[in-house]
Amino acid sequence: MSSKNKTGSLQTTIHNAVATVQFGHPAGNSFPRDLLNRLTSEINSLSTHSDVSVIVLQSEGDKVFCSGASFDELLEVENEEQGTEFFSGFAHLINAMRNCSKFIIARVQGKAVGGGVGIIAACDYALATPESAVKLSELAIGIGPFVIEPAVSRKIGKSAMTLMTLEGHEWKSAEWALQNKLFSAVHNANELDNAVETFAQKLSSYNPEALTEMKKIIWEGTELWESLLVERAAITGKLVLSDFTRKALLEFKK
């Protein structure tokens, strides 16, 4: 299963009960709304797939896992409704990931920024490399990590999330991300694929019903996210229209 167009690529392969979902975009594996929607639909579909026990989420290339929201599309937002709709894409994706009946493993081969960090946090397990630095740079462009904050705080704690946000001008190393539980393990780049495959195959060998019930337990207490994340999207959708943000986005593009 694959799809590719100007808004990016998405491809899924299934082998031995493991579904590998790979996304990509020329602009640092960033997410325009269409690609967010396609990934959300794919996660929802795989959640009901009887031949799949585990999902591996990965991206194209070797330097960047995900650079978050598409700056080009952010600059095209003309009103609060459009802004809310765009950031709701991340809300729907994170909700799909937490509601998914399958465990999701992140293969983080490179850097992650903003929404990319949120996606890693919404995975159940993350394997990374020493080059996989992370950053929440939203304040620098006049918005904030409002939609992804619940997922990030759940994984690394409110204090570490606050640190990442207030020090959004600084990269946090893969070792920092490992110590703060965003990453489950860090492997050298040439060992990453083998580590991901070994762990995914081991997990997929367990009782599928037990895995599904365990996933429910792990995500207990997040039921309010269904509405909370969309409410957070409205906050971001309003702020993205500010003069501060418009100017900052243009500067970042340069």
The CATH number of whichever domain residue 113 belongs to comes to 3.90.226.10
* Terminal-to-terminal C-alpha distance of the chain: 36
Any domain includes 221: no
Of the pLDDT bands very low, low, confident and very high (cuts 50, 70, 90), residue 194 is very high
Q: Provide the residue range defining the domain that includes 92.
A: 2-192
Give 134-165 pLDDT, tens digit per residue.
999 999 989 999 999 999 999 999 999 999 99
pLDDT at 63: 93
Cα–Cα separations (whole angstroms), residue 199 to 164, 190, 249:
29, 16, 39
| 244 is a domain residue | no
**Does the residue 238 lie in any domain?**
no
Q: What is the pLDDT of residues 76-102, one digit of tens each?
A: 899 999 999 999 999 999 999 999 999
Is 253 domain-assigned? no
In a domain, 184, yes or no: yes
Mean pLDDT, rounded, for 220-248: 94
Provide the pLDDT for residue 1.
54
Rounded to two decimals, the pTM is 0.95
Q: Residue 136 — φ and ψ, nearest 5°?
A: -110, 95
Distance CA 54, CA 248 (A): 39
pLDDT recorded at residue 252: 74
pLDDT by residue (tens digit) across 21-59? 999 999 999 999 999 999 999 999 999 999 999 999 999
Strand-pairing partners, residue 58, are 22
Output the pLDDT for position 75: 86
Report whether pLDDT(71) > 80: yes
Buried b (16+ CB within 10 A) or exposed e, 230-247: bebbbbbbebbbeeebbe
Please check whether residue 14 is in contact with residue 4, taking contact to mean a CB–CB distance below 8 angstroms: no
pLDDT > 80? residue 201: yes
Q: Say yes or no to pLDDT of 125 above 80.
A: yes
How many domains, the chain?
1
Is residue 235 domain-resident? no
pLDDT at 3: 54
Average pLDDT, the chain: 95
Question: Are β-strands 103-108 and 54-59 bridged in parallel, bridged antiparallel, or unpaired?
Answer: parallel
Whether residue 253 has pLDDT greater than 90: no
Q: Could you give the percent of the chain with pLDDT greater than 90?
A: 89
Token digits for 91? 């809300």
- Whether 236 is covered by a domain: the verdict is no
In a domain, 248, yes or no: no
Residues 6+ apart with CB under 8 A from 180: 156, 157, 160
